[in-house]
């Protein structure tokens, strides 16, 4: 069973695995407002959205700095990778690990996610209103933003390129199980898949299932196991190899 949550438009059947275009969906209206800055969409996506003035200026400035030898493109790539995969996601990983070892915190996290996350000091722009989604043996959650690339920066850092891509944003709604298989997650037929559509007003964080065999690990050790992809819902947390 698959449930689409917070998605208020009919899904087009014209998109395929190789179709990078969201034009089949472009005439549908969403029940939420995405009138916010998209500085994290660094180039025109497959949906053909033009760059904003801010994005154009950033790109021009970057090109100028690179041309004059003041900035090393590899250094920029390294910095961006750090915020995408290391610095930002470590915040979310600490939230997950604390929820695994502290039942009272987990209860608060699921009841009022924004407040519980703020207890750990993780607040700020793009994370003002958070909802944490718990994966269970019967439910697997996956997060997408179908219109742009809304993303919880305070707990996950910068969004990965694939999260902003047309195929992911379109196909996750149409065929979530197929998309999850491509990420290496084979969800059993008896498990419900819920697809959550992020908006400018509401961002989601997946609370993955704690892997078996980690009962003796500390909170810090558990946090090292949690990946960015698991908190988006396209991966599962694995116990360390013995």
| Helical axes 103-111 vs 88-101, angle rounded to 10° | 120
Using pLDDT thresholds of 50, 70 and 90, give the confidence band for residue 37. very low
So where are the chain's domains? 1-28+39-71, 89-232
pLDDT digits (tens, 9 = 90+) for 121-147: 887 666 578 999 999 999 999 999 998
Whether 12 is a known active-site residue: answer: no
What is the mean pLDDT of the segment spanning 105-128? 87
Q: Is 23 a catalytic residue?
A: no
21 is catalytic: no
DSSP 63-124: HHHHHTTSS-HHHHHHHHHHIIIIIHHHHHHHHHHHHHH-HHHHHHHHH-HHHHHHHTT---
pLDDT band at 74 (very low <50, low <70, confident <90, very high): confident
Q: Mean pLDDT of all residues in the chain?
A: 79
Q: Does domain 89-232 have CATH number 3.40.50.970?
A: no
Q: Which of 7, 113, 149, 198 is catalytic?
A: 149
CA-closest candidate to residue 130, choices 96, 102, 180? 96
Please, are residues 168 and 19 in contact by the beta-carbon 8 Å criterion?
no
150 is catalytic: yes
- Of 23, 145, 165, 198, which one is the catalytic site residue? 145
């Amino acid at each position: 069973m698959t449930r689409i949550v917070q998605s208020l438009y009919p899904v087009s059947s014209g998109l395929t695995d190789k179709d990078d275009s969201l034009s089949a969906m472009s005439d549908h209206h969403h029940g939420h407002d995405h009138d916010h800055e998209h500085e994290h969409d660094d180039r025109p996506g497959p949906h053909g959205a033009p760059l904003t003035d801010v994005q154009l200026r950033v790109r021009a400035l970057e090109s100028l700095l690179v041309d004059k030898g003041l900035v090393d493109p590899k250094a920029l790539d390294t910095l961006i990778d750090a915020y995408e995969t290391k610095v930002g996601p470590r915040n979310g990983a600490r939230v997950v690990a604390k929820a695994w070892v502290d039942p009272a915190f987990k209860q608060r996290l699921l009841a009022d996610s924004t407040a519980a996350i703020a207890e750990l000091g993780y607040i700020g722009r793009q994370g003002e209103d958070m909802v944490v989604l718990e994966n269970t043996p019967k439910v697997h959650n996956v997060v997408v933003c179908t219109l742009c690339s809304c993303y919880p920066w305070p707990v996950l850092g910068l969004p990965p390129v694939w999260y902003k891509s047309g195929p992911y944003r379109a196909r996750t709604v149409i065929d979530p199980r197929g998309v999850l298989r491509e990420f290496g997650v084979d969800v059993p037929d008896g498990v419900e898949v819920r697809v959550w559509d992020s908006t400018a007003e509401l961002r989601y964080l997946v609370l993955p299932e704690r892997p078996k065999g980690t009962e003796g690990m500390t909170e810090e050790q558990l946090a090292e196991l949690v990946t960015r992809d698991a908190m988006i819902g396209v991966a599962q947390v694995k116990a360390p190899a013995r």
